[in-house]
A = this chain, B = another copy of it.
Amino acid sequence: MRRMAVDEVVSMLPSWRPGAALEELAAFLSDSESLAPADRVAVFDNDGTLWCEKPAYFQLAFFRRELEAAVMARPQLAERPEYRALLGHDNAALAELGLPRIALALADLCAGLTAEEFSYRSARFLLEEQHPTLGRPFAQAVYQPMLELLAALRVHGFATFIVTGGGTEFVRAVSEQLYGVPPEGVVGTLIEYEYLALDGNPELRRTGNVSGGANEGPAKVVNIQQHLGRRPVFAAGNSAGDREMIEWALATSGPSLGMLIDHDDAGREFAYESVAVTFDSAERIVDVGRREGWTIVSMLNDWSDVFPTRLVVE
């Protein structure tokens, strides 16, 4: 294969402005051509890395919509504390209950659904519902520069995977359509299924149990090995929960790149920080990344467009 010149690589990334991030990316893509095909593995976080995660996780907005519908049919549901806090948009109560407990309560809400039913509802929500502030459907609130990066990696022979703290099945519902990543390429937080065979008709139904805990932090590294059996040399994330995955991708002697998206663009998206907390320190993940030599991407400075100007899905 002819080695691609750096300016050819740059031409595949039109929404990236000239600067250190683009230079590091182009150099990595060019260098990656020395890697064996099987070693060209790239992993991406999803919430805040491929699609927006504010003002709330899209999955939380989806579950709130499901909850509103369920309560119409069964009003007594609204008495459960987690559901009452969600329906009332009571952020103080939600913070006190904590995301894990909220997540489990919401998993209960969809228990009994088949994979197909859950996938259909998730896809319909993401494709049809409007994001509350961005003036576009949730599915259009994906980052155009990252779509270009996914494509450029594939042109360079990379297998591209999504490694998300979000629900595996929620992301799978649109991963092929939005990102060109098939269902088996999505590794996330996973609900357990129950296999039933009633009257000889096999069925697979969601339970309310999470299989193996949330896919965050060190669990992302473990699950990359368990589900994909591959070792990445490229990892992109935006929060403290992506730290170990990025460090894992960089722990190689060959070409590698760890990328952190810095949400510093209050005008076009949202401005917020993620803090990495250990037993004796609290440090902004951006500062961790700078110290460890990651490629820090400023949404404000490095991206000429944030969202697709044309619809990516119809």
Contacts and interface: CB of A to CB of B under 8 A. Distances in A.
Interface stretch (A59-67, A73-81, A219-227): A219-227
Contacts of A219: 195
A201 interface: yes
Given A211-B226, A222-B193, A182 B159 contact: yes
Report how many copies the assembly holds: 2
Residue of A218, A229, A251 ringed by the most chain B CB atoms within 10 A: A229
Nearest to A195: B218
Interface residues of A, number: 41
Contacts of A186: 229
Contact of A176 (B38, B182, B201): B38
Interface string A180-208: 00111110001011110100111010000
Residue of A190, A192, A197, A226 ringed by the most chain B CB atoms within 10 A: A226
Nearest to A247: B202
Interface string A157-186: 001010000001100100010000011111
A221 B225 CA distance: 21
A283 B211 CA distance: 34
Interface of A: 38, 115-116, 159, 161, 168-169, 172, 176, 182-186, 190, 192-195, 197, 200-202, 204, 211-212, 218-219, 221-222, 225-231, 244, 247-248, 251
A169 B229 contact: yes
A153 to B, nearest CB: 16
B195 A230 contact: no
B202 A251 contact: yes
A190 B226 contact: yes
B202 A244 contact: yes
